[in-house]
Amino acid sequence: MTGRARARSRGRARGQETGAPGAQPPPSEEAARPVPPPSAEGELVGRGRQRRAPGAVASEALLQISAGFQQVKIGERGGRRRDFHDAGVHTRQLMEHVKESKTGVSGSKIELRANFMRLLSRPQWALYQYHVDFKPPMESRRLRSALLFQHDETLGKARTFDGAILFLPHRLHNTVKFVWKLKVERVQITVTLTNELPPSSPVCLQFYNIIFRRYKMLNMQQIGRHYYNPDDPLNIPQLTIWPGFVTNILQYESSIMLCTDVSHKVLRSETVLDFMYNLRKQCGDQRFPDACTKELVGLIVLTKYNNKTYRIDDIAWDHTPNNTFKRGDADISFKDYYKTQYGLDITDGNQVLLVSEVKRMGPSGAPPPGPALLIPEFCYLTGLTDKMRNDFNIMKDLSSHTRLTPEQRESRLNRFITNISRNTEAQNELSTWGLSFENKLLGLTGRVLPAERILQGSRTYDYNPWAADWSKEMRGLPLISSMPLESWLMFYTRRNSDVAQSLLQTLNRVSGPMGIRMQRAVMIEYEDRQESLLRALQQNVGPDTQMVVVILPTNRKDKYDCVKKYLCVDCPTPSQCVVSRTLSRPQALMTVATKIALQMNCKMGGELWSIEIPLKQLMIVGIDCYHDTAAGKRSIGALLTLLCVFSGALKAYWKYNNCLPSRIIVYRDGVGDGMLQSVVNYEVPQIMQSIKTMGEDYMPKLTVVVVKKRIASRFFARIDGKLTNPPPGTVIDTEVTRPEWYDFFIVSQAVRCGSVSPTHYNVVFDNSGLKPDHMQRLTYKLCHMYYNWQGIVRVPAPCQYAHKLAFLVGQSIHKEPNINLDDFLYYL
Amino acid sequence: MCRNGSDRMAALFSPPLYLQRYQFVIEYVKRFIPRKVIDLGCADCGLLRKLKFHRNAIEVLAGVDIDCAALRERVNALAPLTIDYLQPSPRPLTIELYQGSVTEREPCTQGFDLVTCMELIEHLQLWEVEGFSNVVFGYMNPCAVIISTPNVEFNPLLPGLRGFRNKDHKFEWTRAEFQTWALGVCMEYGYSVEFTGVGVAPGQNRDVGFCTQIAVFQRDAGVSNGPVNNAVQMEPTVYRLLYRVVYPSLCDNNIFQRTLVCQVLYRAESLKREFELGEQSMQSDLTACAHSLPPDVVAGSTVVYRHRSHVFVPLQHVWTDPKVQALCGNIHRLRQALMDDSRVQLDTDRDAIILPDEGEEEEDEEETGECEEGNLTPSPVVDNSEEDWETEIG
């Protein structure tokens, strides 16, 4: 854990610089157009997908390295071609040592249940793809279908036909020709076999998904990619929550399975216009445009006249519904358009319009039609704003509704399974295709890795493996190394002077046993205004200041941002902010002060505890992306260490260890669905390239692991007859993993309420020769090393650090932190 | 079916002729405000999809076609939108699709205010037309009927057209033929008719008439139908019901109550928040004396106030929200509706909504964090110190 890799990073907006190919310039009155109505001839997405070449993964993925900072820009994935399941990325075959087996051995076996159901099909099942030709050619798709389906006795009942391609579950004898007399004309239909698709082929998988959706989704409302039940909403003030399910059918390790999880959609019955009115009332005309952009850009809205969702990319301040756009040959105003098209009246003719870049391809592969202009009055907000996310009460209400215990979750999943098996229509359809699902959740065996022993100086201790927390065990033990605190400041407002005093005393009391030597802080009172806080900082923080503690009167973001901005960028000094409320309860003060003392110590470069890692000369790197929705940045964020920065990390390693690492393990977090290919194709080679810059003969062993937290897989354990979360340290590396990957799941953290979500690790590159078992154990060990939490976290600590830094930079600083801080965990 | 010949005519008309026909019906609906509308020969429900947006007062929208596949094709487009759930309409709406023949009598098709029949009759055999008239005018007997059909006199102006406009057309009428039939129907079933059309001939050829001729029939003795009865949903006996969807509406009491409570609580919560913000700024301005300000704890108060650990938001205040007003009409109805709802807590005088003061109950994390999960056997701790993975790699 010596080379704690970290690097500067800065967020930057994308989209502003590169438009999607073919996108029009920023909306002018001519270019602007409202969203096209669902045209009668509109193509169906399901069919469009079917026609795609098997295994095609977005080829448009492009990656750019900006000149100034070492950032990776992940290019626009081509619209609907994006494969959310990252199918077709075959990384395992390139790693010799896991070709045979990728399973570990350590730990004790545990019986688990997973939210998967096996797809059962007849042993010889295959899908047959035919091309259907009509002579003379026929325009009407409906007529084509009608004619073709006259031949049920030959084709059978199970079939899907999109006008040209026919799928059947059986093989026809040779080429079949039908002749059909239509009034005066003779129509000849020729059906030719073009492809035989094995059950696991991508087309087949897509086909299962389509068939399955068709029936599952009765009475469900589609939003984005998922389906929700609108008849049973949960309401908390200003929010409506629809329960639903996410499902997908994929080829997993040993069989094709349906993975399904409970999902919730947060909707709001408030229009963007309502939102704008309120905002204007709150912040006044002057600040309104800024505040409005900040709050709205990045949000997803739902329109009143169709079921489409749009992302707000900008606000067209110079546009109102009275502006016109070209429709056919004539100009029409937005106002008239919505009136004639949808019978909708616009009540506020002065509202400004919203801009959404439409990524979807135009009809028949045409380039995207450019930005769409939306009427705020007809747009409804979905999801949560950052403001709501920070609102403790809203989040509490929300989680009380959406957080399900393992038992609740399992029962909802079982209800879902029962509904499907009871739905005769669905069952009939599936059985005509020769398909059925196992009517129960998948059972499988996992392993619980042994608990780690925590080393703290000369002392070692164990922790309760179920709680996965050692805050009590470490109480009163000296830390591995601590920085003496000689010159430090504490800022507080007059109202909080009592709190500040008692914090100071308690800090003194708790720091002794931990081995932290602490001088009395210089106490500085500031007035409760941002400017005076900044002035106080400027006047008092000097080059010798080791630490700045600021007691904030409220958890408002602006003061926090101000402190962090000044002390991370302008005047590099470790700092610690505390909201006064946290300190208000005397009985909790000891706990809080202990945490603060630990945190301060880390920020100055102290070491708290460690665990044994039986590998030498090891450097571990964490990479994360910050997704700043509020600032309109899509996925560019702080990347810890890439290219030059990567070599910077190697140099830092050299500085502290007097040698270069012989092993480098990179944990890459923040990879979205469908982005795996570009990580493999672009990021891995970049990392290798930057290693090369250290010298031609320097060839460390490299491992790159993609870490995913937001996944649909869930596991349940049955302990003492009760359905619970699997214990921390549970590893799953069979059945539900993917055959083409070297991947595994670890449940590392313990949760107090709700169901735990496992973390998925996908080793996309590995020439280290490390056994899968060691890879899993190492990963789990690293989850013990996040100093801001005296327990096990969800991801390896370097990822958590990277996330924290990326978040700080993206949310508060918006600038590159000062280089002098680089060697410290200042961002905790 | 009505669009098959549209390629040929696409160049001639803008907007396309079928859209002009739809627009004609939309205008009619706007003027005469029917509540129950049925479209015969609705094919892929193009007109119904339009009328769904241009509802005015339509409460029942039905479609009939003989072609089941055509009906099913775009049926999803008739389903309620997400927003229809989030903001239920004040009026009910039911959409129904039937498979059946327009020459058969189906009880479900009676009692409609408007029957539309666009580009349908020319697909019937001539001898079937009389049966059709009998079913529509004699049996269904709606207040009004709109019938459109091609005007064969216009055909010479359609480039490259030989024979009828569509292969499936059994006949195409001149204006005189159409009008003769229509007037005959009026005589027999007690209707009056007006003739018009869409698709004006270009240039000098005005005298051929409209491309599509339209007859609008009005039942004599203008007796309107009885009120729409939504409670009784009849099952068809002759036709086959393919699709029925009831839109969420505020007429459904559960939905009304849910929508109202949601809006009321939202309003109350934001008033509470304003109140708390006011308190906070007061505290930081007048740190010393803030606590000594007596809260205005008077029954029937019109300001938000705090009492013990609760915040009281007067109904009067909530009532000022236009959305609440739109839902309830008057404050008594609001009070009445909230009284019976377990999701809202009213004070004893039923003048204010009581909300918990969340400021207090924030952090009990430390405490709950201490709870132990006792009797679970911890897995054994292995002694790592003897391991060396490097040597195991081999």
Residue A218 has what pLDDT? 59
More confident residue, B109 or A156: B109
Contacts of B185 (CB under 8 A, 6+ apart): B133, B137, B191, B193, B217
Q: Which residue has the higher pLDDT, A693 or A78?
A: A693
pLDDT at A364: 53
Q: Is B235's Cβ below 8 Å from some Cβ in A?
A: no
What is each CA distance from A358 to A64, A636, B232, in whole angstroms?
22, 19, 45
Tokens representing A553 are 């009167």
- Output the six-digit token pair for A272: 């963007």
In the sheet that B60-65 helps form, which strands lie side by side, from edge to edge?
Answer: B191-198, B212-219, B144-150, B114-118, B36-40, B60-65, B94-99, B240-246
Question: How far apart, in Å, are the Cα atoms of B22 and each of A10, A25, A338, B38?
Answer: 55, 35, 16, 14
Closest CA to A304 of A349, A270, A263: A270
- Comparing alpha-carbon positions, the chain A residue that sits nearest to B357 is A393
Question: Which residue(s) pair with A303 in the sheet?
Answer: A379
Rounded mean pLDDT, A588-593: 86
The rounded distance, in Å, linking the Cα atoms of A185 and A176 is: 20
Which residue type does A96 have?
E
Q: Which residue of B has its CA nearest to A397?
A: B358
Of B55, B362, B381, the CB nearest to A392: B362
- Residue in B with minimal Cα distance to A772: B393
pLDDT band at B387 (very low <50, low <70, confident <90, very high): low
Contact A235, B261 (CB under 8 A): yes
Interface test with A, best of B83, B270, B276, B324 (most A CBs within 10 A): B83
Min mean pLDDT across A497-501, B226-230, B267-271 is at: B226-230
Residue of B nearest to A768 (CA): B393
Instruction: Indicate the residue of B67, B284, B379 with minimum beta-carbon distance to A451.
Output: B379
The vertex-A309 CA angle with A307 and A311, nearest 5°, equals: 165
In B262-284, which positions are buried (b, 16+ CB within 10 angstroms) versus exposed (e)? Answer: bbbbbbbbebbeebbeebeeebb
Q: What is the DSSP string of A281-335?
A: HHHHHHHHHHHHHHHHTT-EEEESSSS-EEE--EEETT--TT-EEEETTEEEEHH
Q: Kindly list the strands in the beta sheet with A618-623, ordered across the sheet, starting from the edge strand earlier in the chain.
A: A618-623, A663-668, A701-708, A759-766, A742-747, A730-732, A442-448, A108-114, A715-719, A722-724
Return the residue in B21, B55, B67, B86 with the most chain A beta carbons within 10 A, the one to mutate for interface testing.
B86
Contacts of B289 (CB under 8 A, 6+ apart): none
Residue B386: the pLDDT is 56
Q: How far apart are CA A450 and CA A462, in angstroms?
A: 11
Query: Of the candidates A258, A199, A265, A75, which has an alpha carbon nearest to the alpha carbon of residue A674?
Result: A75
Contact A307 B81 (CB under 8 A): yes
Nearest neighbour of B393 by CB, restricted to A466, A720, A770: A770
Size of the A and B interface in Cβ pairs below 8 Å: 148
How far from each other are the two terminal CA atoms of chain A, in whole angstroms? 17
Confidence check: pLDDT of B151 > 90 = yes
The mean per-residue pLDDT over the stretch A180-185 comes to 62
Could you tell me if B73 lies within 8 Å of chain A, comparing CB atoms? yes
Q: In the structure, how many helices (H) and strands (E) does chain A have?
A: 19, 39
Question: With the C-alpha atoms ordered B131, B133, B136, B137, is the resulting torsion angle positive or negative?
Answer: negative
Of B70, B270, B389, the CB nearest to A615: B389
According to the model, what pLDDT value does residue B33 have? Answer: 93
d(CA A385, CA A752): 26
How far, in Å, CA of A146 to CA of A157, rounded?
A: 14
Q: What is the ipTM of this complex?
A: 0.78
**DSSP code for A551:** E
- pLDDT at residue A44 above 60? no
| Cα–Cα distance, A794 to A761 (Å, whole number) | 11
CB contact under 8 A, A554 and B14: no
Are A282 and A292 contacting, i.e. CB atoms less than 8 angstroms apart? no
Query: What is the residue whose two structure tokens read 């487009």?
Result: B77
Please report the pLDDT score of residue A41 as a whole number: 33
- Answer whether B86's CB lies under 8 Å from B229's CB: no
Residue A715 pLDDT level (bands cut at 50, 70, 90): very high
**Which of A76-90, A419-433, B177-191 is the least confident region?**
A76-90
The one-letter code for the residue type at B147 is I
Which residues neighbour B391 within 8 Å (Cβ) at sequence distance 6 or greater? none
- Neighbouring C-beta atoms of residue B159, cutoff 10 Å: 9
For residue A89, give the nearest of A62, A55, A61 by alpha carbon.
Answer: A55
The backbone torsions φ and ψ at residue B18, rounded to the nearest 5 degrees and listed phi first, read: -65, -35
Of B149, B134, B125, B145, which is closest to residue B104 (Cα–Cα)? Answer: B134
- CB-based contact, B46 to chain A, within 8 Å: yes
* Stretch A132-155: mean pLDDT: 79
Predicted confidence band of residue B366 (pLDDT cuts 50, 70, 90): very low
DSSP string, B268-321: HHHHHHHHHHHHHHHHHHSTTTGGGSPP---TT-SS-EEETTEEEEEHHHHHT-
Buried b (16+ CB within 10 A) or exposed e, B129-145: bebbbbbbbeebbbbbb
Question: What is the nearest CA distance from B283 to chain A, expressed in angstroms?
Answer: 9
pLDDT beyond 70 at A102: yes
Look at B381 and A452 and tell me if their CB atoms are within 8 Å.
yes
Mean pLDDT score of chain A? 78
For the segment A328-376, what is each residue's pLDDT rounded down to a tens digit? 778 889 999 998 888 889 999 899 999 988 766 555 555 666 788 999 9
Please tell me the least confidently modeled range out of A241-245, A429-433, A573-577. Answer: A429-433
Across the interface, do A553 and B167 touch by the CB < 8 Å criterion? no
Predicted confidence (pLDDT) at residue A825 exceeds the cutoff of 60: yes
Structure confidence at residue A491 as a pLDDT band (50, 70, 90)? very high
Average pLDDT, chain B: 80
Tell the burial category of B157 from Cβ atoms under 10 Å away from its Cβ (0-12, 13-18, 19+).
Answer: middle
Nearest residue, CB atoms, A342 vs list B7, B53, B269? B53
The pLDDT assigned to A192 comes to 85
Cα A394 from chain centroid (whole Å): 21
Q: Each residue of A277-330: pLDDT tens digit?
A: 988 888 888 889 988 888 888 888 989 888 888 889 889 999 999 988 887 778
Query: Smallest Cβ distance to B86: which of A149, A269, A528?
Result: A269
Pairing of strands A663-668, A618-623: parallel
Q: Kindly state whether B269 is in contact with chain A, defined as any CB-CB distance less than 8 angstroms.
A: yes
